[in-house]
Structure 1
């Protein structure tokens, strides 16, 4: 049997999105006044700094929402004829009693919304989808460079079409009629953010609205886009309160070093690549000067940091009613911006100082001195939403402890609640609105799987949120009632705040989900950090205390919440975004003087770098984390860091001996926190993996068994880490030949994983294929094949290449075990073509056997060459791959009847196992002796063959279960050999013993069992 296993545990796998409460897109309703209008700005693409391209906006800032109707779509000409449809519409206006409405493609024009420096926006009716839309078309007379302007409009459409976010206007379609290019977008009824702010809003309301806009920008940055002209006029507040960012006409990808166009913009490229081209020739500045970043003022390329600067200018202006820079002249404004001279807020402003500090950082002249991302800026702007809650709880508790019953009575009489329901703290994090937003996002990216996915995640998120609220309420009541000290209450709320940040980031990730990472997100929900730890008073008080200085303590807490978000980014395969968050923590020199925070930040950085493939850098980060943790006595950080560092050494860096040598130190650091189920469980999983890499399967199995037992005892087995540990046990059992136990383990893995990942998660294919190998070892190959075929049908729509590869490999292995060489070869070749980069030597070895069984010599030789490629005197002969390749080569040659040639690779495979007492090596020696005995018997070398077969049986009996079918295989071979030599009684005895073993586990059609029955009949 070809041994297949997944040995590497997924250690703390899988970024934080940006911020909590993105608003849900409610979608369109009917045309006649019930439109679920989504924001669209009346101006067109943002104006350039040139006076001839100044933006024109209705004075009120409000979108004209005159609906019209289907019968009378437009009865007056537009207010400007300087647009692409101008001449056509003016001509038709000469005949007001026309019977045909004005149309643009399939859209019926209802009226003019507005126009600006580059385009004109019309309200239109979409006949096909029965909805009102906003259609932008391009000016002709106003814009001098027709081709460049057309490209800008197309670029805007391409930029916006890349994005799907509740705070970004959605592009429906890009089209062209004659030589007129248009972009159809969702229609919104509302006002510009600029006009909305002018209506004397409270600062909290203004900030909340800007946070929505910021989430739109953050989503654009995650998609690789930079807006480059954000300002209050380029965002809309709909009548439903939702904010939309629009006019991405100046956007371009920021993740490449793009050069400028040559003179005349002569470079010719496909239109699909327009988004990746610069918009103007070198030296021309784009954007509105008052909101431009210093780098844009200097003629440099706009980046995500430039958007952050523009956002902060806009928010500053809206909160304080003044500009952050001098407005005496353009030159003065430019000088202030370039030199980072930010005006202090006006005296008496109700806006907290913390908001101004965040804005001042976002307005730094050097891009690198700003926040690491929009996500980090938004987190700073909205941090500490529970200040009032804590202050009330602390005041109530102080009154109780001091015996101030009169104070409490007064508070009670005034309706001032000591411990208000903490559910309000999850507003915008997990509530009906956020659930609806997540549902809409999942349906958009995976419509066929949405029902299944939402049925899995919504109950889990709901339970997590409800438990969080209960723990928060319990903590407050215990504190207010004098049953819990203030410092314990602070520790509990600190822990719960970090858990809330993780929940918030997870929900954000779902709201912005893509089909490619939806499966990671599903498992992230199941792997949310346990809430029970926040109720464990003994563990909380035993941990290293927070800083004594209250200001530093607040900053450390804020950064820990940021690191909790970064952990979600890690789990959802958004490692680069997570690294940006970590860097924002490390950039705070004052906060990182508290070494435990420094250790936590470097630990998270190393974990993210492992996910990002930066193994060498990850080792440096883990080293920094380990020294900081040991220096500060941060036992949990030291334990986790040592485990992950050991795994990195053994696997990604290929230094298993070094990892093995450091295992005692890793174990010592983890024993200090052995009561922590999660941390110690991860250590046990890693220790098992390190032992397995060194070939010490017994020690590996013992570690994994202990890890599973501890997780099960504490109700943490139904998590991604718990499932991986259980999977590793199954793999270890498979390798040592305990197929019944392995099958039971994999069945349990499938059952548990289905509860939180569903039946169609990509990992299901891996779990089923491993169960199929176990079933094959039990003689139930047809059952294994049936399960794999059922899985193939169920996951036929999956675009995951690894899933396809795994299914085809499983099918091929089962068919090979049934001696169906042609079918096995077909599936294995299909697997290689499905994912050639994942098709390893081990898979080529299996294909070699299938090709030989199918009598396809050329395919066998090609597979042999691929399997043997790279194996030389430097190859680690202790590894599974070395052993399996030569065993497969020998079996393939024997299948082709080249028996004498088959002996050499089989003997070579056995030579590296001589003298080893490891049970795995003993079992492998038995399998090789069985194979060699069969070959020798076919060669007529009966004495040598019998010695080999008896040796095989002895090896099997030493390490395998009495019910293991490999013992029966050896007995059957001895019986056939005895019968060939005329020893009928002995042959019958061997056949009888073999049949009893087969009958215990194998299916009736199992070929060796049928052979044993036939041998018994012949012997009698």
Structure 2
């Protein structure tokens, strides 16, 4: 059989548009590949003929070693053919199936990229690059073929030719669109977002297809979902790239380059194939590894020094390790983070960058210093190869965490940038990598070197998954963890398996899957204990206990297991991070059970531990300090609480900037403490300043917190109408967050404002939250019933008010818990005041003295609630004509108010007035 002058030797393969035959050219005595139309699948012969001519013209324009050469274009009858050079080899997709190394795959694709680079310089876009459209010859040379969808990409060309243009001229075929705008061309799996959307393809589109092809070849899977065409298209258009599988030997820098080439926005990709290829070929750590290896060889051989081994006096034993952070944290990466933050949060960008950039730079600098120190110690024979491996393994995991944190800024939305700021502040401590005692005490790595390397890669993957946990990207984190589980050989090493289960459980907690998280923690705990992985056993037990106490609402079980949790954590008490987290969780479990004194002791211990090791100014450290402040607030130690909250604000501003959303919560709790100190006007001023700062655009939780804080301060100043308006606004802002406790405070404000319908509605809402499961000694029950009593009293319904107040106190009578004692004292104080107003002086005095006794038993001598009880006793004594006693009570009360209250504090003014009246009456 002949095609023109070519003798057909055999079928080479089928393409989407034609058939390729191996042929012999008699005239030039050479073997060629001839492509002809695929008649049985092409219905429109004229259109297909034009497409084939387009391919020939496109390839004929190019002369490059990585592009198949076109010899001639011909036609036999109605059949058009293109004769090209014959490549002895196979397509890249077939070659990859032979499992070449990642370096070989990368080198082959770089050659293909050179072909695309040349095409782009010539003004051509391939539009359908994929591994099947590139051949690797027996000599190793790669050539790109099938430019059948190519067209010139000059910026001035529109998608449609003007009417009347000489479109029929075959010489102008490259300037014609293959179809009208909106028709999708190319192979879907490799198509760029713009091609999926039916938009014009460009050189950046080829870059995208190239990166899909290389990703698939390196990692053995697609970078996007393949569940359905719709899922694939959605991932492509939204730029959702699947992380590489755990255990892949491909360096992170390669994935980062691919991910940039796979960005949904063409402008976010590399400026050209040239830049992309340069990034793929860059090996920043090559020099360091080469010289470090020579250093190690010299030490082991007893050589006089690596300088002599290298043969150049200008080469140090250990070159600076900073190049190992190239692409992780360097000038270019800093610029990328800056651009991402300025795009996503322009109003707060400079504040956020001022908070994170110095921290990232310090972390990177410390990492380099520790890496250099480790290398020098090893090269000089001051530490063993085993310890050097442990240190570098630890540092590699920290670098992975740093890398993932920086990467996260590109994927973040404006709403979780603040999570990222916290993640930067909570990067795993580097000091652990210099703790030789802890490193050598750890479980030995696998003895098999290959398994050991895979375990190390998986640990770096888990470090990345932890970053996704902290930034709320739980889906990505869980995908990474599952990729670790997929390596059955590596997970035979049980310590790694335990670490993976722990990370999975932590991600599931963040994702709201409490039951699944418990199963993961159970697996982690059993595996860790069985393999002797004390650190994971301790950490898992703490997180499991917190899960039981809070998300699963099983506080009794958590409290029962606290002894075991403590025992597991005592084994690693020297680990500040693990033991500090245990102390925090122990405090939380005690607090959930109402054991506030014990909770405070645990939090105090945790704060002291972290501060002693320089780890208080971290998100976890600040959180524990805040918990301690909240405990002091609850037990009525307002001055100590205010001191802790001021420290929290200072550390938080230093770590996360002055406008981090958590500041709202910190300011609000400080305002509550100030109110307890009699400085209500200061508290109100701070809340108004906070309201002006956050504005109307903040999220619901932030807005709710501000409005509640304002209402509380106004209610303390007896401004019921203003307080009611703020509480109603808070309820409208976040109805789902308005619990019985919030309704109880709104009820009191409505009563002070004299709005009976609003008070009754709030009362019904508050009481609706009380059922058979409500803890009668808990805060909700106390606040609802005490609030109801105070509301009735504000409306002048004194006799009615006695009932809910006595009901709330009745459940606290037998308790000696300090929190319960203080609450009982407050109820007795309210009851004493009411009895006095009702003229029941004997009962009133008994109630007031009981209140004072309870306060004196559990509160500090400067607590203003003691003064409130003394003031009430003085008012009662004056009403009964006991002038000297009234003056004594008033004097004592005034001396306490003077310690912390502002001069305009209403009870202090009342104490002064009482003292004056008693003295005048005398």
TM range (shorter): 0.7 to 0.9
Partner of 2:367: 468
| Aligned 1:832-843 pairs, distance under 5 A | 832-843=731-742
Partner of 1:192: 206
Partner of 2:792: 893
- Residue 971 (1) aligns with residue 906 (2): no
Partner of 1:507: 406
Q: Deviations over 1:460-504 (max 9, x none)?
A: 111111110110011001000000100000000000000000000
* In 1, Cα distance between equivalents of 2:805 and 2:304: 87
In structure 2, which of residues 711, 722, 737 is the aligned counterpart of residue 823 of structure 1? 722
Partner of 1:424: 323
* In 1, Cα distance between equivalents of 2:345 and 2:217: 25
Partner of 2:711: 812
The alpha carbon displacement at 1:388 in A equals 6.8
Q: Identify which range, 418-427 or 784-793, moves more after superposition.
A: 418-427
The alpha carbon displacement at 1:606 in A equals 0.5
Q: Deviations over 1:338-391 (max 9, x none)?
A: xxxxxxxxxxxxxx99569xx9xxxxxxxxxxxxxxxxxxxxx99998577456
CA contact (8 A) 1:781 1:817 kept: yes
* In 2, Cα distance between equivalents of 1:1017 and 1:779: 21
In structure 2, which of residues 855, 859, 864 is the aligned counterpart of residue 956 of structure 1? 855
Task: Describe the SS at the equivalent of 1:90.
Answer: coil
* In 2, Cα distance between equivalents of 1:874 and 1:543: 46
**Larger fraction in helix:** 2
* In 2, Cα distance between equivalents of 1:353 and 1:942: 82
Partner of 2:492: 593
* In 1, Cα distance between equivalents of 2:661 and 2:173: 50
| Aligned 1:11-90 pairs, distance under 5 A | 64-65=153-154, 85-86=160-161, 89-90=162-163
Partner of 1:545: 444
* In 1, Cα distance between equivalents of 2:124 and 2:691: 48
The alpha carbon displacement at 1:226 in A equals 7.5
* In 1, Cα distance between equivalents of 2:603 and 2:759: 38
Task: Describe the SS at the equivalent of 2:429.
Answer: coil
| Aligned 1:225-236 pairs, distance under 5 A | none
| Aligned 1:729-768 pairs, distance under 5 A | 729-768=628-667
CA contact (8 A) 2:127 2:205 kept: no
Change (3 A) 1:717 1:420: same
- Residue 656 (1) aligns with residue 555 (2): yes
* In 2, Cα distance between equivalents of 1:849 and 1:43: 73
- Residue 849 (1) aligns with residue 742 (2): no
CA contact (8 A) 2:678 2:901 kept: yes
Task: Describe the SS at the equivalent of 2:658.
Answer: coil
* In 2, Cα distance between equivalents of 1:1015 and 1:382: 85
* In 2, Cα distance between equivalents of 1:440 and 1:250: 29
CA contact (8 A) 1:226 1:303 kept: no
CA contact (8 A) 1:622 1:645 kept: yes
In structure 1, which of residues 594, 619, 632 is the aligned counterpart of residue 531 of structure 2? 632
* In 2, Cα distance between equivalents of 1:384 and 1:561: 19
CA contact (8 A) 1:622 1:641 kept: yes
Q: Deviations over 1:824-870 (max 9, x none)?
A: 01001111111111112111111111111111111111111111114
The alpha carbon displacement at 1:63 in A equals 5.7
Change (3 A) 1:156 1:576: closer
- Residue 561 (1) aligns with residue 460 (2): yes
| Aligned 1:570-589 pairs, distance under 5 A | 570-589=469-488
The alpha carbon displacement at 1:939 in A equals 1.5
CA contact (8 A) 2:884 2:918 kept: yes
* In 2, Cα distance between equivalents of 1:614 and 1:877: 29
* In 2, Cα distance between equivalents of 1:649 and 1:577: 25
Change (3 A) 1:924 1:190: closer
CA contact (8 A) 1:63 1:190 kept: no
CA contact (8 A) 1:383 1:558 kept: no
Change (3 A) 1:827 1:190: closer
The alpha carbon displacement at 1:408 in A equals 4.7
The alpha carbon displacement at 1:900 in A equals 1.4
Compute the TM-score of the two structures, normalised by the length of structure 2: 0.75
Change (3 A) 1:592 1:384: farther
The alpha carbon displacement at 1:914 in A equals 1.5
Partner of 2:913: 1014
In structure 2, which of residues 597, 600, 604 is the aligned counterpart of residue 701 of structure 1? 600
CA contact (8 A) 2:151 2:175 kept: no
Compute the TM-score of the two structures, normalised by the length of structure 1: 0.68
> Whose Rg is larger?
2
Partner of 1:443: 342
Change (3 A) 1:460 1:929: same
* In 2, Cα distance between equivalents of 1:544 and 1:737: 46
Q: Deviations over 1:886-924 (max 9, x none)?
A: 111111111111111111111111112112111111111
CA contact (8 A) 1:609 1:618 kept: yes
Change (3 A) 1:688 1:546: same
Q: Deviations over 1:551-600 (max 9, x none)?
A: 11001000000000000000001112111111110111111111100110
Structure 1 residues not aligned, in runs of 5+: 1-36, 50-55, 67-73, 95-110, 120-136, 144-148, 150-154, 161-181, 198-205, 230-248, 256-274, 277-301, 310-351, 360-380
Structure 2 residues not aligned, in runs of 5+: 1-119, 133-144, 187-191, 255-279
Change (3 A) 1:391 1:879: farther
| Aligned 1:207-606 pairs, distance under 5 A | 210=214, 252-253=233-234, 389-390=288-289, 392-405=291-304, 408-413=307-312, 417-606=316-505
* In 1, Cα distance between equivalents of 2:782 and 2:478: 40
CA contact (8 A) 2:124 2:153 kept: no
The alpha carbon displacement at 1:751 in A equals 0.5
The alpha carbon displacement at 1:407 in A equals 6.3
- Residue 671 (1) aligns with residue 570 (2): yes
The alpha carbon displacement at 1:400 in A equals 2.0
Change (3 A) 1:398 1:303: closer
The alpha carbon displacement at 1:194 in A equals 9.6
Partner of 2:890: 991
CA contact (8 A) 1:472 1:496 kept: yes
CA contact (8 A) 1:394 1:486 kept: no
In structure 2, which of residues 545, 552, 559 is the aligned counterpart of residue 646 of structure 1? 545
* In 2, Cα distance between equivalents of 1:1014 and 1:39: 94
Q: Deviations over 1:907-955 (max 9, x none)?
A: 1111121121111111111101001111111221111111000100111
Partner of 2:272: none
The alpha carbon displacement at 1:418 in A equals 3.3
Change (3 A) 1:158 1:928: farther
Change (3 A) 1:444 1:886: same
Q: Deviations over 1:168-215 (max 9, x none)?
A: xxxxxxxxxxxxxx96x9x977793499x8xxxxxxxx99x9569999
Q: RMSD between aligned alpha carbons? A: 3.9
The alpha carbon displacement at 1:252 in A equals 3.8
Structure number with greater CO (CA < 8 Å, separation at least 6) is: 1
* In 1, Cα distance between equivalents of 2:866 and 2:311: 79
Partner of 1:941: 840
CA contact (8 A) 1:399 1:408 kept: no
The alpha carbon displacement at 1:58 in A equals 6.5
CA contact (8 A) 2:153 2:202 kept: no
* In 1, Cα distance between equivalents of 2:906 and 2:149: 84
CA contact (8 A) 1:39 1:189 kept: no
* In 2, Cα distance between equivalents of 1:191 and 1:44: 7
CA contact (8 A) 2:194 2:205 kept: no
Task: Describe the SS at the equivalent of 1:962.
Answer: coil
Change (3 A) 1:751 1:194: closer
The alpha carbon displacement at 1:61 in A equals 6.1
